[in-house]
Amino acid sequence: MNVYLVRHGQSLGNLQNLHQWPGAPLSPKGREQAKILAKRLTNIPIDIIYTSPLVRAKQTAEIISKELKLPIRYWKNLKERKRPTELEGLPIDNPEAKEIENQITENWLKGNWKYSDDESFENFKKRGQEIVKNLLIKHREQNVLCVSHGAITKMIVCATIFGEKLTPEVFWEFNNHTWDENTGITHLEFTDKYGWSLLTWNDTTHL
């Protein structure tokens, strides 16, 4: 099985340096990025397209779907990690936003800690593991494209590499020492002999 994890194109939130919100659409540049990505994906065998239902991912997947002539399947588990509602739409450098982020950082290692209605590490980890499990059960012999977001891409990768050994500390280090650009392609492969392998991280050579 080959799994291609693709981050959405540039959103208005990315463009304006704001904390993302569920309805944030693609920017004009993001739409162009998605079109370029879609052309690139015509050279990769894809059997199924899954997408996060959040607008920026959905719009990216729709552009890809049109180019590849494949239907889209919506998968809520591919949504980005839920951040506190209080952050949504705030500028990254807003003092209130920085204070919330500081509290999240200070309490991250507690695993189950939440600021308000956000998603704890443990719940996020469980969601990533469910994605990996379902891919193995349903698509073991197929090539799957998942259009999603930065943090959930990292969680899926960590779930394949570390499994139950994944801790808040490990994810924190991985998250803060890797970066995925808009429309970057991350390629995971699963074989019965070797299990999961990370073959490509954040390939943006199409841009």
Any idea what the CATH number is for the domain that residue 178 is in? 3.40.50.1240
For the chain, what is the domain count? 1
Q: Mean pLDDT for each 10-residue chunk of the chain (207 residues)?
A: 98 97 97 98 98 98 98 98 97 97 96 97 98 97 98 98 96 95 98 97 97
Q: Which of 8, 19, 119, 149 is catalytic?
A: 8
Give the SS3 label for residue 132: helix
Q: In the prediction, which pLDDT does 144 show?
A: 98
pTM: 0.97
CA distance 190 to 98: 39
Q: How many beta carbons lie within 10 A of that of residue 153, not counting itself?
A: 23
Q: In the prediction, which pLDDT does 165 show?
A: 96
Q: In the prediction, which pLDDT does 77 show?
A: 98
SS3 content of the chain, % helix, strand, coil (to 5): 45, 20, 35
80 catalytic, yes or no?
A: yes
Q: In the prediction, which pLDDT does 58 show?
A: 98
Q: In the prediction, which pLDDT does 185 show?
A: 98
Q: In the prediction, which pLDDT does 115 show?
A: 98
122 catalytic, yes or no?
A: no
CA distance 185 to 10: 14
Structural domain that includes position 6? 2-203
Q: Which of 19, 80, 119, 149 is catalytic?
A: 80
